[in-house]
């Protein structure tokens, strides 16, 4: 049977997907031992995990491009979960990093705008998870800044204000939230969760993956495996099993 004829015998299988939308901490999540890669491994044969991380981006830019990533006709129906993970750049100090900085009130408004947009394309609140920025280890990040002849351009206390705003938006909008800033600091020495004071280390990636899965497991564990296990395929009549 020709492939074209075989394809005509079965309907197109739309693979469910989890979309990871965020900044560099999301973009890097498919690197070795990354939290996105860990999630994809858990969900293999059940759904795709799609990385839409954009290094350096803030919510001001993110809300503009979200409608170019997800529309009713391109992926909204198949999106079973989406993470929105911004704040590490928004919370940069205005006087030292004006390009990435977004005022706190605007940050909250931008998150709400993205949630409202997703709802408008029929992605309901129960499929949306906000993630706060992680805590900032200032001494390590200052070394990174000094290496580029810059001053320390972020503060952990300021990042915490953005994290609190993110939690409040989730509460007001009825979405789930992963308060990474607070959870990581339950261990007083949180530096081991970070590779450079800002981005996640292997331990930090593992921590985030575990915390995120605890929120996704109920939503996604019931998803069926796509296509039967190979031993269950009728080898004498594979069409009966696969089409």
Point out the residues that are catalytic: 24, 196, 199
The encoded tokens of residue 236 equal 């004498």
- Whose CA is closest to 134, among 211, 39, 76, 62? 211
d(CA 16, CA 172) in angstroms, rounded, equals: 28
Q: By three-state DSSP, how is residue 131 classified?
A: strand
The two structure tokens encoding residue 188: 């007083």
Query: Which strands make up the sheet holding 128-131, listed edge to edge?
Result: 48-53, 17-22, 79-85, 128-131, 176-178
Cβ burial, residue 154 (10 Å; 0-12/13-18/19+): buried
Q: State how far the Cα of 111 lies from the Cα of 179, in Å rounded to an integer.
A: 15
Structure tokens at 161: 């204000």
């Amino acid at each position: 049977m020709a492939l074209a004829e075989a394809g005509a015998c079965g309907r197109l299988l739309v693979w469910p997907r989890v979309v990871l939308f965020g900044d560099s901490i999301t973009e890097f999540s498919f690197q070795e031992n990354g939290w996105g890669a860990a999630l994809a491994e858990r969900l293999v044969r059940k759904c795709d995990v799609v990385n839409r991380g954009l290094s350096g981006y803030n919510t001001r830019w993110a809300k503009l491009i979200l409608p170019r990533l997800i529309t009713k006709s391109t992926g909204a129906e198949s999106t079973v979960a989406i993470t929105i993970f911004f704040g590490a750049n928004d919370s940069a100090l205005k006087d030292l990093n004006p390009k990435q900085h977004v005022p706190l009130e605007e940050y909250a408004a931008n998150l709400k705008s993205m949630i409202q947009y997703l709802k408008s394309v029929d992605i309901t609140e129960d499929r949306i998870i906000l993630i706060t920025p992680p805590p900032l280890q200032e001494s390590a990040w200052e070394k990174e800044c000094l290496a580029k002849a810059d001053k320390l351009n972020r503060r952990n206390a300021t990042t915490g204000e953005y994290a609190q705003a993110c939690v409040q938006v989730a509460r007001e909008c009825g979405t789930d939230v992963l308060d990474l800033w607070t959870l990581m600091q339950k261990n007083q020495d949180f530096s081991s969760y970070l590779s450079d004071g800002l981005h996640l280390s292997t331990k930090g990636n593992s921590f985030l993956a575990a915390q995120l899965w605890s929120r996704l497991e109920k939503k996604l564990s019931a998803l069926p495996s796509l296509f039967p296990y190979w031993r269950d395929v009728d080898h004498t009549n594979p069409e009966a099993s696969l089409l």
